[in-house]
Amino acid sequence: MFNKKKNQSDQSTKKKDREAENEKLIYDTWPQSREQGKLKFTFKFGALTWGFPTFLIYSAIMIILNFFIKESVKYNIPQALFSLFFFVIFGMVYGLFLWNKNEKIYLKKYPYGKKSK
């Protein structure tokens, strides 16, 4: 029982350390990122760095499955276009979430910082 409490305490400490490191990184890099503006940041970090690569990985998996299991897995052009649209849109949602999270952390330390575009 004592080990379980100690383990939970260690995990809590590690989590707080990770959060502190993340906040320090945001304090150091966020001013340059926020200068881009919300739309450009969302497109760059949401659609281009999450949505499009995820689409490529998904497409590769589907093509490989289509090659080995021809009847049950069909991956064609309309499905690929829908997948691209789906992943890019959800990448944009992820980018907006990331923008808002980083902005909240940044404004916690610099509450009178210049508002974003």
Domain map of the chain by residue range?
19-109
- Is 95 in contact with 47 (CB distance < 8 Å)? yes
6 falls in which pLDDT band (50, 70, 90)? low
pLDDT of 105: 85
Contacts of 93 by beta carbon, 8 Å cutoff, 6+ apart: 46
The pLDDT of residue 4 is 60
